[in-house]
Structure 1
């Protein structure tokens, strides 16, 4: 089978696509892939490093306000559709999947108009503009949250989950915490503000270090590369905090997560897919700087089921953070209930589900 994948702009669109590709390759090695993205987007470097054939097109997103740039975007879209039709024809794609970001627009639209089976994958509880537009033309809309179903044609929606969830399963190391000079026998929380870190979260954790230092649990605190030096200067002013490991970034996050008891961080779709698949309770601080406040909606999908506690950034204080941590890490019954609630929300076979949707479309198309 030949599959074209498109997704870009943020890691939340790219990494699920790569997780899907890896799973399919592992189980069906003869499958051929072509990834279509933008030349200047994150996907250009990330996809190339994976050894996946990559085709770049020139496309930009629409401005949400009236702007002359939107007319240029329409022109780029039309040109992008023309180029994509050629690429699709030459590659002889059996199915096309878009995982989000404006680059998917001309790719998936061209495929739909050419009667090639099409799927879009929406990771969040609130859909992006591109996926809302494409939902009118595609064959299926794969979603990760029940809440987002209302935005799409009912007969097209299928709940598959996020392929990234499938990748964290099976990562279990008895000594993953040893690399941070922490005990594998003590309850552990991880605090992370995303791959680049989040200054509001960093500021609050710094204020909390003195209290965290005397707790019976331990903490891995991921600052983000850009904030690490500043945080370490502040931490140096505190005498004792051996139970708090401060690091700029974690490359083997999947392995570390498998040894964690509580996650404190943002509410990005990929992160939530991973922690629910593993059944990890969470304290979520949704980013208020994202489109349509979708991280808050993501977080509510967990908190409404008892799998997470939400601490809005505007209300975040050191005391509230410590109290939330204490309430979970020092109460085995509560932690187990939250873990079970998270596990019920997790979809551990997301990649298989998504590939099954694609395969069914191809079979129907061939009849």
Structure 2
């Protein structure tokens, strides 16, 4: 089978695509793949490193305010459709899968117009503009949240979950703990604000270092590369608490997550897929700077089911953060209830479900 995948802009669109590709390869070693993205997107560096063929088109997203740039975007869209049709014909694609981001627009639309079977995957509880547009033309739509179904034609929607979730199952948590210096016999909370870090979360942690240093649990604190040196200096000024481990970034996150008892994080779709698959309770601090405030909606999907505590950034303080951590890690009954609730929301076979969708529409 010859499969084209398109998704870009952020890791939240790219990593589910890569997880799906890996799952398909397990089942069909003869499958051939082509990834279509943009030259400026993260996909242009991440995808080729995975030894996956990559081609680019030029496309930009719409501005939400009236702008002359939107006229240029319309032109680029139709140019992108023409370029995509040529690429798809040359590759002889059997199916095209879009995992989000504006680059998917012309690629998946071109495939639909050529009569090639198409699927889009929506990771968030509120779909982006591109997937809303494409939903009229594709054959199937995979979603990760029940809340997302209402935005799409019901006859096309299938609850698949996020393929990234499949990659965290079966990881060695003991090895993960040791890799970052965590003790095996003490509870651990992971605090991170995404690959770039989050300044408000960093500030709350720094204001609580003395108090955290006296707790009977460990803190693995991931600052983000750009904040690391500044944060490290502050930690040293606070006496380098023995139970607080500071890292700029974690490359083996699935393995580390498997050994964690509680996570404090943003509410990106990929993060939530990983947490629910592993059954990890969380304190979610949604980014207020995302389209349609979708991270808060993502977080509510977990907090409404008692799998997470929702802490809005405007309410975030050092004392409030420590209070929330204590309420879970120092209360074993609460911890176990939240683990069970998180696990019940997980879809660990998400990549396989997406693979099944492909088989259904490719005759």
Which bracket does the TM-score occupy, shorter chain normalised?
over 0.9
Q: What RMSD, in angstroms, separates the aligned Cα atoms of the two structures?
A: 0.8
Distance in 2 separating the partners of 1:244 and 1:279:
23
Equivalent runs, 1:1-367 vs 2, <5 Å: 1-363=1-363
Distance in 2 separating the partners of 1:223 and 1:319:
19
What is the deviation of 1:177?
2.0
SS in 1 for 2:174: coil
What is the deviation of 1:174?
2.2
CA contact (8 A) 2:173 2:260 kept: no
Residue deviations 1:1-46, cap 9 Å, x none? Answer: 1100000000100010001001111221100000000011110010
CA contact (8 A) 1:176 1:184 kept: no
CA contact (8 A) 2:176 2:257 kept: no
CA contact (8 A) 1:168 1:255 kept: yes
Q: Gaps spanning 5+ residues in structure 2: where?
A: none
Q: Gaps spanning 5+ residues in structure 1: where?
A: none
CA contact (8 A) 2:8 2:103 kept: yes
CA contact (8 A) 2:269 2:298 kept: yes
Distance in 2 separating the partners of 1:219 and 1:246:
8
Distance in 2 separating the partners of 1:181 and 1:57:
43
Distance in 2 separating the partners of 1:196 and 1:319:
24
Residue deviations 1:90-141, cap 9 Å, x none? Answer: 1111110000000000000011111111000000001000000000111111
Distance in 1 separating the partners of 2:343 and 2:157:
23
CA contact (8 A) 2:175 2:255 kept: no
Residue deviations 1:205-256, cap 9 Å, x none? Answer: 0001110000001110000000001001111111251001001011111110
SS in 2 for 1:4: strand
SS in 2 for 1:236: helix
Residue deviations 1:149-178, cap 9 Å, x none? Answer: 010111111000000000000102424323
Distance in 2 separating the partners of 1:350 and 1:359:
15
SS in 1 for 2:126: coil
For structure 1, which segment, 237-246 or 225-234, has the greater mean C-alpha deviation from structure 2 after superposition? 237-246
SS in 1 for 2:184: coil
CA contact (8 A) 1:279 1:340 kept: yes
CA contact (8 A) 2:7 2:37 kept: yes
TM-score (norm 1): 0.98
Residue deviations 1:308-340, cap 9 Å, x none? Answer: 001100001111111110111011111111001
CA contact (8 A) 1:175 1:184 kept: no
SS in 2 for 1:174: helix
Distance in 1 separating the partners of 2:97 and 2:124:
16
